[in-house]
């Protein structure tokens, strides 16, 4: 696995771990749920969904990190496969969120979420 792909994969993993922290750990904080455009009155209702979504993001990040670990342990093909699968899932989720955001209010953030995964996939093919 080439160095740019590894660095970009690590960036994508770190981004998803940060999102996990926001959705699953810090969601109840006013500045965090406001970032997701959730009113304080709705936090108790939305929090289980946000927690679930955060866990999904953490699992994708862990899959990337497992792939990088595998590649550095000599299982290069397996590592690349893990990184590619997680990157494709990250990108697909970002595209889906962009496509179904009726107001297009969060496009910058969603592109920021998907761009490292897209760059990783491109670097893996190089």
Determine the pLDDT at residue 2: 93
For residue 126, pLDDT over 80 is answered with yes
For residue 30, what pLDDT band results from cuts at 50, 70 and 90?
Answer: very high
Q: What is the pLDDT of residues 50-90, one digit of tens each?
A: 999 999 999 999 999 999 999 999 999 999 999 999 999 99
Helix (H, G, I), strand (E, B) or coil at 93: helix
pTM (2 d.p.): 0.89
Determine the pLDDT at residue 35: 86
When divided into structural domains, the chain yields a total of: 1
Domain of 71 in residue numbering reads as: 3-125
Give the span between the Cα atoms of 17 and 55, in whole angstroms: 9
Share of the chain above pLDDT 70, in %: 98
Determine the pLDDT at residue 110: 76
Q: Where are the alpha helices (DSSP H) in 37-106?
A: 43-72, 76-99
Who contacts 71 (Cβ-Cβ below 8 Å, separation ≥6)? 1, 6, 78, 79, 80, 83
Of the CA atoms within 13 Å of residue 124, those in its CB half-sphere come to 27
Q: Residue 101 belongs to what H/E stretch?
A: none
């Amino acid at each position: 696995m080439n160095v740019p792909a590894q660095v970009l994969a690590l960036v994508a993993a770190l981004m998803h771990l940060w999102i996990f922290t926001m959705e699953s750990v810090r969601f109840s904080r006013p500045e965090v749920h406001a970032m997701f455009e959730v009113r304080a009155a709705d936090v108790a209702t939305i929090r289980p969904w946000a927690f679930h979504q955060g866990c999904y993001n953490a699992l994708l990040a862990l899959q990337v990190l497992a792939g990088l670990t595998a590649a550095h342990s000599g299982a290069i093909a397996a590592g690349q496969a893990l990184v590619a699968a997680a990157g494709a899932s990250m990108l697909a989720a970002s595209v889906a969120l962009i496509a179904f955001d009726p107001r297009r209010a969060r496009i910058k953030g969603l592109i920021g979420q998907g761009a490292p995964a897209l760059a990783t996939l491109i670097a893996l093919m190089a």
